[in-house]
Structure 1
């Protein structure tokens, strides 16, 4: 029996520890494909060190040009591969474990990248709420890192990000409209479509589910509104994905 994949995730004080939309995508993907894995928890300040230790590639560059390391990443002992970035991980899992359910239909990774870019733009209005809320659930070492790096990048405190009053109402309406666009994409696949590929779940659905679960976890009050949107589509998505949230024994 092959050794389990090592999946690197960021812990929190939430009951199941997992919270990050990006790492949730990889947890969903591994479970969807029924690939055994174990989790190694890494606090934010340790991500760069751990990435370098196991030979993980950076996922981007910092403003000053230095490499930027992020989670999720996986180490597959069966092949020796170390992969970072949730979408690259999904492509690797499909290529390396072809006898498991596919995340991305063959030949569609480029199309998925286009979807990813479009969907990411629709998610931006929620960050002023979700970033401060996420910070509150992190462990102290990660809290300090998260606050300092985000505030330096954004030029304001996390608390100052949160929109209120008419500004907040407009921003939330804009965010809802973005999910309305994604609802249109699903409905375009057919009457009564559940997923972006009608009745067949794919990595596009997992990708969105990672964000929806994140918002449910860190913004429970906002989730009470969001779960009613578009005939309850997003609550239904999480119910359908719930079986992929756990960790193998």
Structure 2
């Protein structure tokens, strides 16, 4: 049976762009588990999840349920599940003969890595990427996305992009922040954190690199800047995982 991966569409040829859903897509591709993609527009995430019985992953500020992607449906077990880490744990337990995501009982350590990665992302650079995300979304998704975040920040998304010296300062913070992740890759022999074999943490790092490259564009100044950092780690990681970037 074939798993359904619920993902956010875009106007780009590759379709996929979200770092969180790329974590799950990488995992499915890496483990060789058959799947198909159901594209869900941004304003349709909540109603589609409720319709299918996909559980929420968090609570909104008002206490109501928040529904997010990625999500999967596995017809072999009847499971509907959201949250990239929970999905990875489910895949590891349900498909033990597939390549391991958490080898040698490393789940706890890899969760720490994932949490560290999230804390090292610069808020201002994230604000800057919001307008880039909106540009590649389908029109209805982009409108809803803009409405939410422009209300939250009280400004147009384009006005949140740092400029001039402020931009240089924020990019420097970003480089230093993810540099604390990059240094971990200097402590191992091989392209991955565990040497020559990829694990979940590598897929988390690669998913963010895919996000940056996809949203800003492979020929963009932003991606060129990132690929020049940390000995070329971020582009090299994607090259090492090139066989697992299919979108089906």
Match in the other structure for 1:245? 245
Q: How far, CA to CA, are the matches of 1:216 and 1:142 in structure 2?
A: 20
Question: Is 1:200 the equivalent of 2:197?
Answer: yes
Q: How far, CA to CA, are the matches of 1:197 and 1:234 in structure 2?
A: 16
Q: Please give the residue correspondences for 1:27-38 in structure 2 after superposition, counting only pairs within 5 Å.
A: 27-38=25-36
Q: How far, CA to CA, are the matches of 1:194 and 1:242 in structure 2?
A: 13
Question: Is 1:103 the equivalent of 2:101?
Answer: yes
Aligned pair partner of 1:210 in 207, 215, 227: 207
Question: 1:117 Cα shift?
Answer: 1.6
Q: Please give the residue correspondences for 1:166-181 in structure 2 after superposition, counting only pairs within 5 Å.
A: 166-181=165-180
RMSD in angstroms over aligned alpha carbons? 1.3
Contact 2:14–2:247 (8 Å) recurs in 1: no
Match in the other structure for 1:160? 159
SS at match of 2:103: coil
TM-score by length of 1: 0.94
Give deviations 1:78-106, integer Å, cap 9, x for gaps.
Answer: 00011101111111100000000011125
Point out 4+ residue stretches in structure 1 off by more than 6 angstroms: none
Q: Which runs of 5+ in 1 are unaligned?
A: none
Give deviations 1:37-89, integer Å, cap 9, x for gaps.
Answer: 00000001111111011111111111100000010000000000111011111
Q: How far, CA to CA, are the matches of 2:224 and 2:141 in structure 1?
A: 28
Match in the other structure for 1:72? 70
Q: How far, CA to CA, are the matches of 2:36 and 2:80 in structure 1?
A: 15
Q: How far, CA to CA, are the matches of 1:10 and 1:239 in structure 2?
A: 24
Match in the other structure for 1:19? 17
Question: Is 1:48 the equivalent of 2:36?
Answer: no
Match in the other structure for 1:221? 221
Q: How far, CA to CA, are the matches of 2:154 and 2:93 in structure 1?
A: 41
46-55 vs 109-118, greater mean Cα deviation: 109-118
Contact 2:42–2:141 (8 Å) recurs in 1: yes
Q: Which runs of 5+ in 2 are unaligned?
A: none
Q: How far, CA to CA, are the matches of 2:35 and 2:154 in structure 1?
A: 39
SS at match of 1:171: helix
Give deviations 1:3-41, integer Å, cap 9, x for gaps.
Answer: 100000100000111111111111111000000000000
Give deviations 1:188-236, integer Å, cap 9, x for gaps.
Answer: 234xx42121222111010011111111111132001211222211111
